[in-house]
Amino acid sequence: MYIFQYLPIYDIIIFVMREQYIEKQLRKNLIKSLVLPLLFFGVLIDALLILNLNEVSKPVKVDNVWDFFTENSNASLKNKYVKVTLNNLEYTGFDLTKSGKRIGSFYYMINNSNCILTLINTSSDKGSTHKTIPSKIKKYQLTGKILKSSSLNNELINNIAKQISWDSKNLKDNISEYVISEPDYKISRVYMLASFIVILLVITLIYIIYKIILLVNPHLLPEFKLLNRYGSRDIHIRTANRELSNKVIERLDNAFITDNYFIDLSTYKTIIIPLKDIDACKYQNRRKRKSTIKVRMSHGDTYKIYDRTYSDYKKLKNSLVLVSTNN
């Protein structure tokens, strides 16, 4: 009945808690390392949604462009992809150019007192003249994107008004601020960008799944697998956990030197090194306040321990001397 009073319960609980210290610390580190990939995954999903592949691949078929513009509000027209047949187009005399190359030409349509502009793909090399552009197009079928125009300047309005014998102010009040742009329907570029985003999504998802698997079983870490070269991995980890509870010789921030191991549990790097299997260690880049300790193992493996001071290096060297003396 009073058997438990003879057992060091507190010591047992502390031992069990400390025995799993390495795994607990690794899980914390793995959770931290998942934050950025998860955020990046979310950004990629948002980017894919913004591309709106469904609308690009399936543009709205418009039978009557005038009814379509009348029935839809400005907000619903913006950035909509449409497939439409336009009639009786008149060239405005204005082109859209970029780096000296013509991208497209502005045409207008009149219906009663309403006017709609459209940008037709008339791309050409430098030096092309307007003679290659028809002044009138009776019928033209295009797939384009409806954009809010930034090109409705006074010169363009005046030129159209002169052609149709309208007052410039009256035309400005009746012309739609939205333009049907054929050059802006860049479906191949959208698909290429979407493919790139999907590839990044798959790579990121695989990385996240891999980290989750390690979160469930930290012993699958590649650094732990290397321990099999120096005996049983599980025995090494179990012994290192035990030594962390009562045989820590030196603590170097998030690293420990115990009787038989150097244990580094940094956020993005995990190292458990049996001290007796270290052949040599070297301190690199002494000009910096914190540098790298390079460790060469008996089986030829090389470990780099980052962000360590020269004092840390000396403590590790002293530990190696103690281990070699004891052996």
Predicted confidence (pLDDT) per residue in 199-244, tens digit: 999 999 999 999 999 888 888 887 787 788 888 888 888 888 888 8
Q: What is the largest CA-CA distance in the chain?
A: 110
Distance CA(130)–CA(121), nearest Å, equals: 13
Neighbours of 39 (CB within 10 A): 10
For residues 257 and 247, is the Cβ–Cβ distance under 8 A? no
Residues 96-113 have pLDDT tens digits of: 888 778 888 889 888 877
The band of 290, judged by pLDDT with boundaries at 50, 70 and 90, is low
Residues 131-185 have pLDDT tens digits of: 578 888 999 999 888 888 765 566 777 777 777 777 777 777 777 888 888 888 8
Show the DSSP H helices in the chain as ranges: 9-19, 21-51, 53-57, 65-71, 74-77, 154-164, 168-174, 187-216, 222-225, 233-246, 310-326
> What CATH number should be reported for the domain whose range is 60-184?
2.40.50
The class level of CATH for 221-326 reads: mainly beta
Res. 12: pLDDT tops 50: no
Helix (H) or strand (E) holding 120: strand 114-121
Q: Do 60-184 and 221-326 come out as alike in CATH topology?
A: no
Helix (H) or strand (E) holding 298: none
Query: Which pLDDT belongs to residue 267?
Result: 66
Residue 60 C-alpha from the chain's centroid: 31
Distance CA(216)–CA(242), nearest Å, equals: 21
Residues 6+ apart with CB under 8 A from 82: 59, 60, 61, 62, 68, 143, 144, 145, 146, 180
pTM exceeding 0.85: no
DSSP string, 126-168: TT--GGGS-SEEEEEEEEEEEEE-S---HHHHHHHHHHHT--H
Tell me the one-letter amino acid at 3.
Answer: I
Is 185 in a helix, a strand, or coil? coil
Name which of 56-60, 70-74, 97-101 the model is least confident about: 70-74
Average pLDDT, the chain: 79
- Domain positions in the chain: 9-57+185-217, 60-184, 221-326
